A = this chain, B = another copy of it.
Amino acid sequence: MNSAANALLTTDEPAETGAQQIRDAIRDAIVERRLSPGTKLSESDVGNLFNVSRTLARAALQALSYEGLVSVEKNRGAFVAYPSPDEARQIFAARRLIEPGILREAAARITTSEIQHLRQLLLEESRLISERGQTARRAEIKASGDFHLTLAAISGNTIMQRFMEELVARSSLVIALYGQSTISSCGHNEHGDIVSAIEAKDLDHACHLMLHHIAHIEADLDLRERKGQGLKEAFDL
């Protein structure tokens, strides 16, 4: 969630404890693909990196494990999650299941200023798409997710919002692992079409577009087992 979306609807208390900051930092690194799936996250290393004790590092890693972004194996350590193809399918199945509902709820409550905010997100997104470079690619990934998260925020249901945050973050991991085309968000302006449908109050069409949008993202994945890297994951331990 970027600061713009933050300013819109979130309900976070100002004072963040140390572990949360570390958690957010690592999460951003994972979502922006600066940390590859399978990377080992030793408690000591994390603690040293952020100049805190292992206690806080451990707490942050535990929190990320609840979100499904890192997997902790008993007495072995924490690793950036390496979602299996089946897990990937479940993530997108979950998105297909809940995003239409969120969309309807959001469309029913959306204000003109929120529509404007969405349009601004789209603008930023297309600007990033046209840019070159790794950093632009990373920002694009984040922006693409922020569209869905903002929609969830507009829906007014903080629980669904949190579910979506998890799903979007994990989707980023899946795309990093299995995406084939370099373009992470679909080439077309599907987000814009959805906003237009919302604006036109054509909810059925908006949901239809959303489902297709998710399907397009998933269609870009090559969900075949990849061995030679995560051997342990291949035998699912």
Measuring CB to CB, which residues of chain A are less than 8 angstroms from any residue of chain B?
Answer: 13, 15, 17, 55, 59, 62-63, 66, 68, 74, 90-91, 93-94, 97-98, 101-102, 105, 156-160, 163, 167
Per a CB cutoff under 8 Å, which of B13, B62, B158, B163 touches A59? B62
CB–CB A94/B59 < 8 A:
no
**22 pairs from A and B in contact (CB 8 Å cutoff):** A13-B74, A15-B74, A62-B62, A66-B66, A68-B159, A90-B156, A90-B157, A91-B159, A93-B105, A93-B157, A93-B160, A94-B157, A94-B159, A94-B160, A94-B163, A97-B98, A97-B102, A97-B105, A97-B157, A98-B101, A101-B101, A163-B163
- Chain B residues, Cβ within 8 Å of A94: 157, 159-160, 163
Minimum CB distance partner of A237 in chain B: B13
CB distance from A171 to the nearest CB of B (A): 11
B15, A90: Cβ atoms closer than 8 Å: no
Going nearest first, the 10 A-B pairs with the smallest beta carbon separation are: A97-B101, A66-B66, A94-B159, A90-B157, A90-B159, A94-B160, A93-B157, A98-B98, A163-B163, A94-B157
* Nearest residue, chain B, Cβ from A95: B159
A158-B90 CB under 8 A given contacts A62-B62, A74-B15: yes
Which residue of chain B has the shortest Cβ distance to A167 in the bound complex? B159
A160's closest neighbor in chain B, by CB? B94
Q: What is the CA–CA distance of A167 and B163 in the complex, to the nearest angstrom?
A: 11
Closest partner residue, chain B, to A104 (CB atom):
B97
Please give the distance in Å from A194's CB to the nearest CB on chain B: 18
Complex Cα spacing A98 to B96, Å:
10
